[in-house]
């Protein structure tokens, strides 16, 4: 195993690595600076788009010409050619202290993303599903910081974390309707070092990889919730991970250059880098595109 800096753009809050199989391109975001980045598997041909506000996550649309964004004030479309951003729907117009955060697409092309309390204190957030027809549906509530949505390889189990709950949850996922049920604890997160569950992904073996932000670790959980391995990263503020590359065997990991609140730790010169982990001997699963 080897860890390398792939792109050093010093993202204030790097998040959401997304490998698009069809275009063979890697996307990631700077949540605080409101930017979307794109590069090749090797970190070349760097391109960036500015968006109007903080961004929590993104999904590539089925035609590949644009993306769906979860911005601080709702779900939006982004046109890659023009850079134009347009509002689809704001699920929380009466909650100015909230913003949308992490999200991913299910096998049917629906975008599931949650909101968070920007002070990371109150259970004011919720979990939403945006369907290809742009209809919005509420899935869960009472969440402080929504993070780590991902599915088992068969699509029947949905994983999700409220970062400060100290747990990663599993739900039964109805692939026909996009509904969730039977929420239970999948894994207890070791928060003794001040870390919390952040972004996550699932590999082809059904194991969940979770970024332990502020603790500088990636944790691989077996399908039964036990810890299979822990990878120590060169920075403490690791935020999310996803497998990509031509063989889906490179683990891309984002990080933040500056903590969002004063109580969180700082990092050295590698802060905010996009990392690539090679030679793990593990493959990921393709990330679906949004169906609309």
Q: Which residue ranges make up the annotated binding site for substrate? A: 99, 101
- Give the whole-angstrom CA distance, residue 159 versus residue 157: 7
- The full DSSP string for 9-57 is ---TTEEEEEEETTTTEEEEEETTTTEEEEE-TTS-S-EEEE-SS-EEE
Active site residue 198: yes
Encoded tokens for 292: 């609309």
Beta-bridge partner residues of 181: 172
- Give the whole-angstrom CA distance, residue 288 versus residue 20: 8
Which residues are annotated binding-site positions for a divalent metal cation?
Answer: 15, 147, 198
Residues whose CB is less than 8 angstroms from the CB of residue 186 and which lie 6 or more positions away in sequence, other chains included: 159, 167, 168, 169, 170, 208, 221, 225
* 3-class state of residue 224 by DSSP: coil
Which residues are annotated binding-site positions?
Answer: 15, 99, 101, 147, 198
Q: Which of 126, 11, 113, 17 is nearest to 71 (CA)?
A: 113
Beta-bridge partner residues of 231: 218
Active-site residue, selected from the candidate residues 30, 106, 162, 198: 198
Q: Which residues are catalytic?
A: 198
């Amino acid at each position: 195993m080897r860890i390398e800096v792939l792109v050093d753009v010093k993202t204030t809050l790097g998040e959401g690595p997304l490998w698009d199989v069809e275009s063979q391109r890697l996307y990631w975001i700077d949540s605080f600076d409101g930017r979307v980045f794109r590069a090749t598997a090797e970190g070349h041909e760097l391109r960036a788009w500015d968006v109007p506000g903080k961004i929590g996550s993104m999904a590539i649309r089925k035609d590949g010409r644009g993306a769906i964004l979860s911005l601080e004030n709702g779900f939006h479309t982004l046109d890659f050619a023009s850079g134009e951003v347009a509002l689809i729907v704001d699920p929380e117009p009466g909650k100015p202290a909230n913003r949308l955060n992490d999200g991913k697409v299910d096998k049917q092309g629906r975008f599931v993303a949650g909101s968070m309390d920007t002070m990371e204190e109150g259970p004011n957030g919720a979990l939403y599903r945006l369907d290809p027809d742009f209809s919005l549906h509420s899935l869960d509530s009472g969440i402080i910081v929504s993070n780590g949505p991902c599915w088992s390889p068969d699509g029947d189990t949905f994983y999700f974390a409220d970062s400060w709950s100290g747990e990663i949850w599993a739900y039964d996922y109805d692939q026909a309707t996009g509904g969730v049920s039977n929420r239970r604890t999948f894994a207890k997160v070791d928060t003794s070092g001040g870390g919390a569950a952040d972004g996550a992904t699932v590999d082809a073996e059904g194991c969940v990889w979770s970024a332990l932000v502020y603790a500088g670790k990636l944790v691989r959980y077996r399908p039964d919730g036990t810890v299979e391995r822990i990878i120590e990263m060169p920075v403490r503020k690791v935020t999310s991970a996803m497998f990509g590359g031509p063989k889906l065997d490179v683990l891309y990991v984002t990080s933040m250059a500056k903590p969002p609140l004063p109580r969180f730790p700082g990092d050295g010169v590698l802060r905010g880098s996009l990392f690539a982990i090679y030679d793990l001997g593990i493959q990921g699963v393709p990330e679906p595109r949004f169906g609309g």
